[in-house]
Structure 1
Amino acid sequence: MSQEPSRWYRGRLVGGPFRTFDPGECTALERELGLPLPPAYRSFLAAAGGERLDYSVRLPACEPEPIQSFDNLYQLGRDDAGEYGWGTLLGEYRRSRDGWLAENVPLTGLLPIARNGGSDVLYLDLNPPTHGQLHAFVHAIDWPGYLGDHVFTKVADDFDAYLDNLFIDPDTAEDVWADVAGSDPSDPWRRTVEEWLDKELPAWRAEAWATPLI
């Protein structure tokens, strides 16, 4: 497993740790799915993978909460215990076949690939007519100002389009910066965060939470 803290992929910062891409695991996943992975997503797994994608996407169907994030990425292959456990693509696929969601959402041909802290899930569509599309299931929150009903909605035409549509939510930017603001300016991770913010939010240094810079 690579100790790199991050990698850039198609202009997006992917957080580690990173496992070595194993074509055999990819074949095993496709064999159980009975469907091939789309080239765009397979290329992402081969070049980056990783466990974090700290970006947001706008989903109009989720008003009044259109800004959603699926920042925890599922991993190809086995976990550290040598199992297809939580957080692995094959393990999450197997678990998705049972339970409440499978009874209420048509999950045939859908591979869960990411989630967020609220257990909302991002799916990759492997069905031939819509091969490569991404969809999301977002849970309702029974509280004023939040999503009143569960939503299952299309997110993007393919994984590359999904990456292109991502952006940094200001609240996420503030939280990530707070984690490194007190570190030495020469710290490699702090410099990576600054590069990330400079690229995605060019005016971030003028924000109250960004000052004073050390």
Structure 2
Amino acid sequence: MSEELSRWYRGRMVFGPFPPFEAEEAEILEREIGASLPAAYRRFLEAAGGSHLEYAIDIPAGEPDSETLGFNELYRLGRGEDGDYGYGTLLGEYRGGSSGWLAAEVPLDGLLPIARNGGGDTLFLDLSPAAHGHVHAFVHGLPGWAGPRGQGLLTKIADSFDAYLDNLLIDPDMAELTWGDVAGDDPAAPWRRTVEAWLDTGLPGWRDEPWANDRPRLPG
């Protein structure tokens, strides 16, 4: 397991830890799902298949009433740290989806779950021949007092995993929370410098925001 804090891929910062890519595990997964992994997603796994991708995307894409949501918890190729295909692994999530709550909400035939967020919203790759590699998102419905989306929604958000990455953005609320966790650290601390690089690239002008300037800084 690599101890790198982050890696860059297509201009997006992927956070570790980074399990090694094992071609044998990709073959095991492909045999069970009965389809090949989309090329763009496999390239991502080979180069930067880390644990978190702290970005968001508009859902439904291009709609005036879209919401900005992220799917930051990436599922892992191969076995988990406990040595099993369990929670948080691609194969474990694929196996569990057919018998879990998700099956009651989403027609899972031909879909491979690849990421989730803390609210249980899930990101999928389409493995069907006609739409191989398309990226879909399932988001839960909200109670009436919380917003206009009363029912769960499954929607396509990108034609490929590369296109999905290219459309990601840093949500300003997440930026504020993340910076608040490191603002008081030593300016030379590796994690703080990592967060600064993430913000500098994905949210230009963030240093001028009030939340970036209202916390005491350690001398640099």
Task: Give the shorter-chain TM-score range.
Answer: over 0.9
CA distance in 1, matches of 2:10, 2:195: 17
Partner residue, 1:209: 211
Large movers: runs of 4+ above 4 Å: 61-65
TM-score normalised to structure 2 length:
0.93
Q: Spell out the pairing of 1:1-214 with structure 2 (5 A cutoff).
A: 1-60=1-60, 66-146=67-147, 147-212=149-214, 214=217
CA distance in 2, matches of 1:119, 1:63: 24
Equivalent residue letter for 1:159: F
SS at match of 1:91: helix
Q: Judging changes above 3 Å, is the alpha-carbon distance between structure 1 residues 104 and 117 closer, same or farther for their aligned structure 2 residues?
A: closer
CA distance in 1, matches of 2:96, 2:144: 28
Shift, 1:101, TM fit: 2.9
SS at match of 2:179: helix
- Listed as ranges, the gaps of 5+ residues in structure 1 are none
CA distance in 1, matches of 2:56, 2:73: 12
Equivalent residue letter for 2:87: W
Shift, 1:64, TM fit: 5.1
Shift, 1:63, TM fit: 7.5
Identity %: 59
Shift, 1:65, TM fit: 5.6
SS at match of 1:111: strand
SS at match of 1:202: coil
- Contact kept in structure 2, 1:64 and 1:145, CA below 8 Å: no
CA distance in 2, matches of 1:122, 1:53: 12
115-124 or 188-197, which moves further after superposition? 188-197
SS at match of 1:196: helix
CA distance in 1, matches of 2:175, 2:47: 25
CA distance in 2, matches of 1:6, 1:210: 22
- Listed as ranges, the gaps of 5+ residues in structure 2 are none
Equivalent residue letter for 1:99: G
Shift, 1:182, TM fit: 0.7
SS at match of 2:195: helix
CA distance in 2, matches of 1:197, 1:106: 37
CA distance in 1, matches of 2:201, 2:73: 22
1:150-195 deviations in whole A, cap 9, x for unaligned?
1110010000000000000000100111111011111122112111
Equivalent residue letter for 2:121: D
1:25-45 deviations in whole A, cap 9, x for unaligned?
000000000000011000000
SS at match of 2:118: coil
CA distance in 2, matches of 1:192, 1:85: 30
60-69 or 19-28, which moves further after superposition? 60-69
